[in-house]
């Protein structure tokens, strides 16, 4: 099982996704500060992968605190964990993983690293298992000879392994139900062009890349059955924060009669938020939009609007898939019945 996150010989190693597809570079992460920076700088990205990385980051934080404070390591942890939690504000899996790890602090006896490492590895393996379950559940919704489109990257690179949206596509393809896979390039970080295409081709799945703005024409020509995406945060009513461009795809899909599926694990649901109105939607440096490979491509003096995520209302979603089951036409009551 391919994973972009590895714990090996007492060290966290992350596949630097900024370098793909040109080269596969693994970064060694030895401190919680390095872990926070890797999340912020998008060395690792995708809500589930961010959560798993954060879980290992808690292990590194505990190691550092124990080395400095011995049996008083718990008292020194909050400052480091706050730094870790602030690395990416939208992906709820980040805080979920930190909170889950914290629930095990009280039971730790002696050096905290072994017990916390076991819990982080459990979170990692549970994510892979959840992805495989979601892949099987989501594939059941697909017709024979399905033509599907995905946005950004919600595959093994964005998770512990296998993927959420790409997990459904992997399962559907393995069952012979998918005849065509399309991927948006996903500006401005090109996750579709650099990551989804690389990942699918690496595993022997054919993929056709298109500009984000070409999706409408694809639907107009009747060449799509399903749009399948992941999520970074899902509110109690089913509103979804995901990579910028997701909302536009949902509107297009509804107009053209194309089905829209969101695939995400339980850890991506934030039931403390009644709707998406209160979700933090991250804005990033405008240079990501104005430049390409460190070269300015926009007219000098142009301003920028560079939101990382947008909000898709639950009313535009036909199916929501988690490891706990499938929710058709999601709303607060249906989500509460399955997720809470």
C-alpha 164/C-alpha 263 separation (Å) is 5
Asked about 285 being catalytic, the answer comes back as: no
Query: Is residue 90 over pLDDT 80?
Result: no
Question: 91 falls in which pLDDT band (50, 70, 90)?
Answer: confident
In the numeric block, the tokens 């790409």 are attached to 166
**Mean pLDDT along residues 181-196:** 96
CB atoms within 10 A of CB 292: 13
| Token duo for residue 4 | 């972009």
Q: Which of 127, 184, 225, 232 is catalytic?
A: 232
Q: Where in the chain is the domain with CATH 1.20.120.420?
A: 5-129
Distances (CA, A) of 207 to 166, 172, 279: 12, 14, 33
Specify the pLDDT at position 294: 82
User: Predicted confidence band at 292 (pLDDT cuts at 50, 70, 90)?
Assistant: confident
What is the percent of the chain where pLDDT is above 70?
100
Burial class of residue 85 (count of CB atoms within 10 Å of its CB; 0-12, 13-18, 19+): middle
Residue, of 2 and 152, whose pLDDT is higher: 152
Cα–Cα distance for residue pair 304/286, rounded to 1 Å: 5
DSSP 8-state class, residue 9: T
Is the CA virtual torsion 326, 230, 15, 170 positive or negative? positive
Class of domain 5-129: mainly alpha
- The per-residue pLDDT for 3 is 94
When pLDDT is averaged across residues 11-20 and rounded to a whole number, the result is 96
Q: What is the pLDDT of residue 84?
A: 95
* Sequence-separated (6 or more) residues with CB below 8 Å from residue 49: 4, 5, 157, 158, 159, 160
- 89 closest CA partner among 281, 288, 331: 281
Confidence of residue 256 (pLDDT cuts 50, 70, 90): very high
Length of the chain (residues)? 340
Asked whether the bond before 227 is cis by omega within 30 degrees of 0, the reply is no
Q: What is the mean pLDDT of the chain?
A: 95
User: What pLDDT score does 171 carry?
Assistant: 98
pTM of the predicted structure, to 2 decimals:
0.90
Residue with tokens 């730790």: 108
Question: Does the pLDDT of residue 12 top 90, yes or no?
Answer: yes
Q: Are the beta carbons of 198 and 20 closer than 8 angstroms?
A: yes
Within 13 Å and on the Cβ side, how many CA atoms surround 331?
3
Band (pLDDT 50/70/90 cuts) for residue 97 is: very high
Architecture of domain 132-339: 3-Layer(aba) Sandwich (3.40)
pLDDT score recorded for residue 159: 96
Segments of the chain assigned to CATH 3.40.50.10470? 132-339
């Amino acid at each position: 099982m391919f994973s972009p996150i590895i714990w090996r010989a007492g060290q966290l190693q992350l596949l630097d996704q900024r370098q793909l597809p040109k080269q596969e570079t693994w970064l060694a992460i030895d401190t919680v500060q390095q872990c926070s920076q890797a999340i912020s700088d998008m060395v690792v990205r995708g809500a589930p992968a961010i959560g798993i990385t954060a879980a290992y980051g808690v292990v590194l934080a505990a190691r550092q605190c124990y080395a400095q404070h011995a049996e008083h390591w718990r008292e020194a942890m909050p400052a480091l964990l706050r730094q870790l939690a602030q690395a990416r504000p939208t992906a709820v899996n980040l805080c979920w993983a930190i909170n889950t790890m914290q629930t095990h602090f009280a039971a730790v006896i002696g050096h905290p690293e072994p017990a916390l490492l076991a819990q982080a590895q459990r979170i990692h393996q549970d994510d892979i298992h959840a992805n495989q379950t979601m892949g099987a559940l989501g594939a059941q919704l697909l017709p024979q000879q399905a033509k599907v489109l995905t946005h950004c990257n919600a595959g093994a690179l964005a998770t512990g392994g296998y993927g959420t949206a790409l997990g459904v596509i992997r399962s559907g393809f393995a069952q012979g139900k998918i005849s065509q896979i399309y991927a948006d390039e996903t500006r401005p970080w090109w996750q579709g062009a650099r990551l989804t295409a690389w990942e699918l081709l690496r595993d022997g799945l054919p993929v056709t890349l298109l500009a984000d703005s070409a999706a409408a024409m694809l639907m107009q020509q009747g060449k799509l059955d399903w749009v399948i995406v992941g999520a970074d945060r899902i509110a109690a009513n089913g509103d979804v924060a995901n990579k910028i461009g997701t909302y536009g795809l949902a509107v297009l899909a509804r107009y053209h009669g194309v089905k829209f599926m969101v695939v995400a694990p339980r850890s991506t649901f934030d039931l403390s938020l009644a709707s998406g109105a209160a979700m933090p939607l991250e804005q990033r440096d405008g240079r990501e939009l104005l430049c390409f490979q460190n070269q300015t491509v926009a007219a000098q003096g142009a301003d920028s609007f560079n939101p990382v995520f947008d909000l898709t209302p639950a009313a535009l979603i036909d199916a929501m898939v988690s490891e706990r089951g499938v929710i058709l036409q999601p709303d607060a009551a249906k989500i509460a019945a399955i997720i809470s």
